[in-house]
């Protein structure tokens, strides 16, 4: 915690002072954008409904030079990034002597193209949501929903980078092999059980040498920040293909990210103690540290909203389907980095880790339609009378996330939006 987190701070960028904005001066997330007619990606900082172009402004923390790329920003040390955050806060707050200079480096977010935050090298999706794992496990293994390794090992699988897209992504309903229990042979069909998954994305910013694990005490120094992630899933394709090696075509057709990366420094006021439920095993020593126990968890509200074609036609906005909290995750972001590297795996700047679906403990807090519809057996009834067990063509899913607390300024991660198009013929 430092003066950049002061809830009383206001900005000369008027929209940053709106209580409803995700991007007040206390946030200052990073992303990439480009201007109309310009093919070059620029690094920007979200402030209210504007983006500050870091290629058109100079800061001492960057050596007095424009920020050339997100990769160069990720390569900075944690101390340099904290210094830049402090400079940005000073420059953008009310009364700043740099206001006149920086106004020319501002662009309306609505007038620029927002891109993926960086070039993504590798993508690993974890399974940290114990409530999601338990609920889904009960659907397939009623007597043994959680396999014995779940409470000991951060489960993960390697995902597909080429199909990751930015918020606003539209994708065609995927096709794959489907096999109903009463069928003798599978057939190639469009997925009938298309779903979303509410996740957080974790961007790596520092590499470790091949063969050298990252200790828990240094793990967060390897994390640039958090974004929203929708791990779209074809449940019927997944059911037929996932044994014995896990997801493949059921996941690789699309993954959607929000465009802004909120740094761990911005999230400092919302850190909470990390505690295992009574009776559960404590993490092995390589997944434990005093800092992680004291403040490894992050108090962040996560939401899913759905807008159907009928809602759009009627001029209705999206409907909130559920809400959960990242404190419900069974593993922390530091533990994911420590476990990923304990075998000597070398992470690299720009690598992306998915948290896995973050569901809550209560009924109605499922982070997927698979949970909310009890595997398709209980349709979800929407406010306009429509029903959903799984996604239909034209449905738009919006993920949202924010942190708030008494005496603190609300900050958010922006929005992660994706729309399902009909399957290609």
Residue 183 CA, distance from chain mean position:
38
Do the annotations mark residue 255 as ligand-binding?
yes
Q: Which long-range contacts (CB under 8 A, 24 or more apart) does 272-275 make?
A: 272/297, 272/298, 272/299, 272/327, 273/297, 274/332
- How would you classify residue 144: left for phi > 0, otherwise alpha for psi between -120 and 50, otherwise beta? beta
How many Cβ atoms sit within 10 Å of the Cβ of residue 402?
18
Do the annotations mark residue 90 as ligand-binding?
no
- Tokens 């729309």 belong to which residue? 419
132 tagged catalytic = yes
Residue from 131, 132, 222, 340 carrying the catalytic annotation: 132
Do the annotations mark residue 242 as ligand-binding?
yes
Do the annotations mark residue 18 as ligand-binding?
no
Do the annotations mark residue 87 as ligand-binding?
no
- The two tokens of residue 61 are 């923390």
DSSP class per residue in 164-183: EEETTEEEEPPEEEE--TT-
Do the annotations mark residue 357 as ligand-binding?
yes
| Residues 42/118, Cβ–Cβ less than 8 Å | no
Do the annotations mark residue 396 as ligand-binding?
no
| Residues 53/44, Cβ–Cβ less than 8 Å | yes
Do the annotations mark residue 125 as ligand-binding?
yes
| Residues 401/407, Cβ–Cβ less than 8 Å | no
Do the annotations mark residue 238 as ligand-binding?
yes
Q: Which residues are annotated as a binding site for Mg(2+)?
A: 231, 251, 255
Q: Which residues are annotated as a binding site?
A: 125, 127, 141, 197, 199, 231, 238, 242, 251, 255, 357
Q: Which residues are annotated as a binding site for substrate?
A: 127, 141, 238, 242, 357
Q: Which residues are annotated as a binding site for Ca(2+)?
A: 125, 197, 199, 231
Catalytic residues: 132
């Amino acid at each position: 915690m430092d003066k950049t987190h002061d809830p009383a701070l206001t900005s000369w960028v008027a929209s940053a002072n709106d209580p409803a904005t995700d991007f007040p001066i206390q946030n200052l997330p990073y992303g990439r954008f480009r201007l109309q007619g310009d093919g070059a990606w620029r690094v920007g900082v979200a402030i209210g409904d504007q983006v500050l172009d870091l290629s058109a402004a100079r800061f001492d923390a960057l050596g007095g030079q424009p920020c050339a790329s997100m990769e160069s920003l990720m390569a900075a040390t944690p101390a340099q990034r904290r210094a830049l955050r402090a400079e940005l806060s000073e420059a953008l707050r009310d009364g700043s002597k740099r206001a006149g200079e920086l106004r020319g480096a501002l662009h309306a977010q609505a007038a620029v193209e927002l891109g993926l935050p960086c070039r993504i090298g590798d993508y690993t999706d974890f399974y940290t949501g114990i409530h999601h794992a338990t609920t889904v496990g009960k659907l397939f293994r009623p007597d043994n929903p959680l396999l014995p390794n779940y409470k000991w090992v951060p489960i993960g699988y390697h995902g597909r980078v080429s199909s990751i897209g930015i918020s606003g992504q539209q994708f065609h309903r995927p096709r794959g092999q489907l096999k109903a229990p009463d069928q003798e042979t599978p057939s190639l069909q469009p997925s009938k059980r298309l779903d979303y998954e509410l996740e957080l994305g974790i961007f790596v910013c520092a590499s470790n040498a091949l063969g050298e694990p990252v200790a828990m005490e240094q793990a967060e120094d390897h994390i640039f920040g958090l974004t929203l992630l929708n791990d779209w899933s074809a449940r019927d394709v997944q059911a037929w293909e996932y044994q014995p090696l896990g997801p493949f075509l059921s996941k690789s057709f699309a993954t959607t990210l929000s465009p802004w990366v909120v740094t761990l420094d911005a999230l400092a006021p919302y850190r909470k103690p990390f505690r295992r439920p009574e009776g559960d095993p404590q993490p092995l020593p390589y997944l434990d540290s005093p800092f992680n126990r004291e403040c490894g968890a992050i108090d962040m509200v996560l939401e899913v909203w759905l807008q159907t074609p009928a809602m759009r036609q009627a001029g209705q906005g999206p409907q909130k389907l559920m809400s959960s909290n990242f404190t419900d995750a069974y593993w922390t972001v530091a533990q994911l980095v420590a476990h990923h590297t304990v075998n000597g795996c070398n992470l690299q700047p720009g690598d992306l880790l998915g948290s896995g679906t973050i569901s809550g403990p209560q009924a109605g807090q499922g982070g997927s339609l698979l949970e909310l519809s009890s595997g398709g057996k209980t349709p979800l009834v929407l406010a306009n009378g429509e029903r959903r067990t799984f996604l239909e063509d034209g449905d738009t899913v919006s993920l949202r996330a924010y942190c708030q607390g008494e005496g603190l300024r609300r900050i958010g991660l922006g929005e992660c939006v994706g729309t399902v198009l009909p399957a290609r013929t």
